[in-house]
Amino acid sequence: MIRCPECSAEIDVDEDEVEEGEILSCPECESELEVSQIHPVHLNIISEDLDDDEDDEDEEEEIAGNGDLPEDDEEDDEEEDEE
């Protein structure tokens, strides 16, 4: 029996048949878990990381959405041209 690292619920998985890199889902907290090690089986939470990455990508798109530099960078460029 394997325990969820998020909520400590028991996850019914045959430890001999699980593969490294396999994605499992906790039946209690619904966290997505990646098998990071076998013998003994070790799970890492991956669902929270994905949400953070999506937020970061959205912020980057907003900044570079129109192709212009942010205002602070434009002022720095003007100062360099004057020198």
Stretch 55-60: mean pLDDT, rounded? 53
**How are strands ordered across the β-sheet holding 23-25?**
23-25, 32-37, 42-45
* pLDDT tens by residue, 10-50: 998 888 889 999 999 999 999 999 999 988 899 999 855 44
**Banded pLDDT at 56 (limits 50, 70, 90):** low
- State the pLDDT at residue 7: 94
Could you give the C-alpha distances from 47 to 2, 39, 50, in angstroms and in order?
A: 18, 23, 5
Contact 20, 38 (CB under 8 A): yes
